[in-house]
Amino acid sequence: MMRSTWFALSLLASCAGVSHRLDARVASPHSIAVLPIEGSASLAERELARGLLVARLREHGFVVVESQHVDRVLSETGRMTDPDAFRAELGAIPAISHAVGVDALLHVASFDESSWNAIALRRHSLSASLQIVTKDGAVWWSARHSVGELGGFALKSGQVITELLAQGAHGTSAASLGKIDTLLEDVAAVLPTDSDRAEHAEVAAAPPAREGRFESTSVAAGRVRTVVEVRCEEGMLLLVDVGPLQGVPMAGAGGVYRAAVDLPAAQSGVVVRSRNGQGGEASSTIGGAQ
């Protein structure tokens, strides 16, 4: 009996600390994006963990790009077709960082869930391996951690509480949610902080669209097609305002963005708005639009 008790206590103690490393030789990044999380845990659990990591990095002073922007860039560059099967190699980090427009990427190479039963003893655990890799391909910070319990759980984060019903509907148990929260709270405690956060607090401005052109052509009785084409940095979200239509998305590839809209009349001008993942926006007028 004493041997079983000692065995259980050693299991719990082995997961108490976070193994982490910071390379002081690597320049500290200021803007970071969190890649889709890899691992055997469910997609719902990994998406929840990703959202919590974004929140924790912002609390530590970093400018963190919205995950939707990251996923859109990954999809447009052909690096992600299925979020559940996404995998990123270390050698691809510089190219992805450039496309997204950040100093570094947080890459979670494994976020795994496991459980086992031994007679009357049951254990359910989560483990993660994380690293922040700069746009030059250097690993600035890395960590490994796991949490597991033999019974019960406690939520530390209010954000997880708001996810209980939503994630429960997708089959994620409250116990799993509690472990996700515990694991990431432990990791957050050893996350580095952007020491120059005040200097980098301002939202980076988005680059404006350039070399814009548009043309209107009749395609049917009472219908005129307006085609807009501009150039802008890759990885931006571009929207065009054409007549009564506001915020029409423009498809981009290789820095060239296009959109086509059918309206009852030809247009004298359009407005193109470019946005980056940090909330910055710029607008450009093409033709006579005001």
- pTM check: above 0.85: no
More confident residue, 40 or 280: 40
Residue 140: other Cβ atoms inside 10 A: 22
Give the CA count within 13 Å in the CB-facing half-sphere of 77: 18
Per-residue model confidence (pLDDT) at position 174: 59
Per-residue model confidence (pLDDT) at position 169: 39
pLDDT one-digit tens code per residue, 229-280: 999 988 777 888 888 887 787 887 778 988 888 888 887 888 998 887 666 7
Per-residue model confidence (pLDDT) at position 192: 80
The residues facing 218 across adjacent strands are 224
Read off the pLDDT of each residue in 127-142 and give the average, rounded to a whole number: 92
What tokens were used for 144?
A: 């490994």
Per-residue model confidence (pLDDT) at position 278: 63
pLDDT at 13 over 50: no
Q: What CA–CA distance (Å, rounded) separates 33 from 116? A: 34
More confident residue, 34 or 247: 34
243: left (phi over 0), alpha (psi -120 to 50) or beta: left
pLDDT at 47 over 80: yes
Please state, rounded to an integer, the average pLDDT across all residues of the chain: 76
CA nearest neighbour of 130 among 114, 147, 156, 111: 111
CA nearest neighbour of 186 among 234, 242, 126: 126
More confident residue, 268 or 117: 268
Per-residue model confidence (pLDDT) at position 150: 46
Q: What CA–CA distance (Å, rounded) separates 169 from 265? A: 48
Per-residue model confidence (pLDDT) at position 203: 57
Read off the pLDDT of each residue in 22-33 and give the average, rounded to a whole number: 88
pLDDT one-digit tens code per residue, 140-196: 999 998 887 544 343 444 444 444 444 443 455 556 677 777 887 888 888 887 654
What tokens were used for 227?
A: 């085609």
Confidence grade of residue 121 (pLDDT, cut at 50, 70, 90)? very low
Highest mean pLDDT among 36-50, 115-129, 164-178: 36-50
More confident residue, 118 or 279: 279
Confidence grade of residue 30 (pLDDT, cut at 50, 70, 90)? confident
Per-residue model confidence (pLDDT) at position 154: 39
pLDDT at 127 over 50: yes
Per-residue model confidence (pLDDT) at position 207: 84
Per-residue model confidence (pLDDT) at position 167: 45
Which residues touch 157 (CB under 8 Å, ≥6 apart)? 52, 181, 184, 185
Per-residue model confidence (pLDDT) at position 108: 92
What domains are defined for the chain? 2-188 (3.40.50.10610), 210-287 (2.60.40)
Distance of CA 188 to CAs 53, 55, 153, Å? 8, 10, 19
